[in-house]
């Protein structure tokens, strides 16, 4: 190579390489499980919104919702479907630039009013709403369905069950006692104290602040047909599977292996967060 060519190469403009790191955004991968159990018909309902559209997922958020129609009351399926329909419509009209948590609480109240208008307190449903947006989780919950976060090797119960067990425990604490034995032995400890379809919904459990999500987190929403059958160790093992589809399959196998004589309908939605 002659000197003229060497000089030209040395003086050629270099391509600019930005030192600013390329931002990473969490992606959400979901799967669902639903079975009838030993019941004669299905009263659970569920929905994902934007699960298959990455652009909408990032700009409008991902909605996951489970509603467990109450079998001991009238038209549980009607109640759970009405809840899902009202929540989906409300989600599509949410303003994500304002208080998302407060809007999810209001969505629960609107779902309650919708069911009450149809069934006049003769039927009801539980409900869990989750919105995944801006790498955070927002939720609201009514009833005794389960919302669980798996992070690392541990699982965390996020929502408060609204049943007689919880009510008695809280009453004990207010009276200065940490003894939950009266709650454990209460004859109606599983009875719901709050559900969608009441004349007036006064108690909604919801996030006051968003829960930051991390790479590898797994979020589980499920009816008590799953959460009330599989223990924490079993759920942790299921949620450690490689994919959401495998997690759902393991939960299904676990519920079937339990072989409960009066197995309730069971529904689960799994969302795995990853870069």
Asked if the structure places residue 179 within a domain, the reply is: no
Decide if pLDDT at 8 tops 70.
no
Question: Scanning the structure block, which residue is given the tokens 């040395």?
Answer: 10
User: When comparing pLDDT for 214 and 4, which is higher?
Assistant: 214
Average pLDDT over residues 108-132: 96
Q: What is the pLDDT of residues 134-185, one digit of tens each?
A: 999 999 999 999 999 999 999 999 999 888 777 777 777 777 887 777 777 7
Domain CATH code at residue 131: 3.60.40.10
| Res 10: pLDDT | 45
Tell me the residue range of the domain where 121 lies. Answer: 32-160+193-274
Asked if the structure places residue 8 within a domain, the reply is: no
Which residues, in sequence order, are CB contacts of 80 under 8 Å at separation 6+? Answer: 43, 44, 45, 67, 68, 69, 125
Asked if the structure places residue 18 within a domain, the reply is: no
Asked if the structure places residue 167 within a domain, the reply is: no
Q: What is the pLDDT of residues 177-223, one digit of tens each?
A: 877 777 777 877 778 899 999 999 989 999 999 999 999 999 999 99
| Res 33: pLDDT | 98
Instruction: DSSP for the chain, please give it.
Output: --HHHHHHHHHSPPPP---SPPP---EEEEEEEEE-TTSSS--EEEEEESTT-HHHHHHH-EEEEEEEB-TTSS-HHHHHHHHHHHHHHHHHT--TTS-HHHHHHHHHHHHHHHHHHHHTTS--B-EEEEEEETTEEEEEEESS-EEEEEETTEEEE-SPP-BHHHHHHHHHHHTT----HHHHT-TTTTSBS--BT-SS----EE-SS-EE--TT-EEEEE-HHHHTTS-HHHHHHHTTSSSHHHHHHHHHHHHHHH--TTPPPEEEEEEEEE-
Task: Work out the pLDDT band at 266, boundaries 50, 70, 90.
Answer: very high
Decide if pLDDT at 16 tops 70.
no
Task: Work out the pLDDT band at 253, boundaries 50, 70, 90.
Answer: very high
Using CA atoms, how far residue 119 sits from 129, 171, 196, in Å, is 22, 31, 11
| Res 171: pLDDT | 76
Task: Work out the pLDDT band at 19, boundaries 50, 70, 90.
Answer: low
Average pLDDT over residues 232-242: 98
Asked if the structure places residue 117 within a domain, the reply is: yes
Domain count, the chain: 1
Q: How many CB atoms lie within 10 A of CB 259?
A: 9
Using CA atoms, how far residue 12 sits from 17, 19, 109, in Å, is 15, 21, 66
- What pTM, to 2 d.p., does this model score? 0.87
| Res 22: pLDDT | 57
| Res 23: pLDDT | 61
Decide if pLDDT at 14 tops 70.
no
Asked if the structure places residue 114 within a domain, the reply is: yes
Decide if pLDDT at 42 tops 80.
yes
Asked if the structure places residue 3 within a domain, the reply is: no
| Res 157: pLDDT | 96
Q: Rounded distance, CA 118 to CA 251, Å?
A: 34
Beta bridge partners of 147: 221
Say if residue 208 is exposed, middle or buried (CB neighbours under 10 Å; 0-12, 13-18, 19+).
exposed
Cβ distance 212 to 191 under 8 Å?
A: no
Q: Rounded distance, CA 181 to CA 185, Å?
A: 6
Decide if pLDDT at 18 tops 60.
no
For residue 182, which of 197, 206, 166 has the smallest C-alpha distance? 166
Q: For residue 95, what are its two tokens?
A: 């303003």
Decide if pLDDT at 242 tops 50.
yes
| Res 225: pLDDT | 96
Asked if the structure places residue 126 within a domain, the reply is: yes
Q: What is the pLDDT of residues 63-117, one digit of tens each?
A: 999 999 997 778 999 999 999 999 999 999 999 999 999 999 999 999 999 999 9
Tally of CA atoms within 13 A in the half-sphere of 168 that contains its CB: 17
């Amino acid at each position: 190579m002659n000197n003229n060519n060497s000089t030209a190469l040395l003086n050629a403009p270099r391509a600019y390489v930005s030192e600013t790191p390329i931002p990473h955004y969490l992606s959400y991968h979901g799967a669902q499980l639903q079975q009838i159990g030993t019941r004669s018909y299905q009263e659970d309902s569920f929905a994902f919104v934007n699960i298959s559209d990455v652009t909408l997922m990032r700009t409008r958020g991902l909605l996951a919702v489970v509603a467990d129609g109450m079998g001991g009351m009238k038209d549980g399926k009607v109640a759970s479907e009405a809840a899902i329909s009202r929540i989906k419509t409300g989600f599509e009209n949410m303003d994500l630039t304002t208080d998302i948590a407060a809007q999810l609480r209001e969505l629960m109240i609107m779902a309650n009013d919708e069911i009450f208008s149809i069934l006049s307190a003769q039927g009801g449903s539980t409900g869990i709403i989750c919105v995944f947006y801006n790498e955070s989780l927002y939720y609201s919950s009514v009833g005794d369905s389960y919302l669980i976060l798996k992070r690392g090797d541990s699982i965390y119960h996020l929502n408060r069950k609204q049943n007689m067990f919880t009510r008695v425990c809280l009453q004990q604490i207010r009276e200065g006692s940490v003894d939950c034995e009266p709650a454990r032995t209460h004859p109606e400890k599983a009875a719901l104290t709050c559900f969608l379809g009441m004349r007036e919904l006064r108690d909604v459990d919801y996030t006051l602040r968003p829960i930051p999500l991390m790479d590898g987190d797994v979020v589980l929403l499920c009816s008590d047909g799953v959460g009330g059958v599989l223990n924490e160790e079993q759920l942790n093992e299921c949620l450690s599977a490689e994919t959401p589809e495998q997690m759902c399959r393991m939960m299904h196998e676990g519920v079937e292996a339990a072989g409960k004589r009066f197995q309730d309908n069971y529904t689960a939605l799994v969302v795995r967060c990853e870069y």
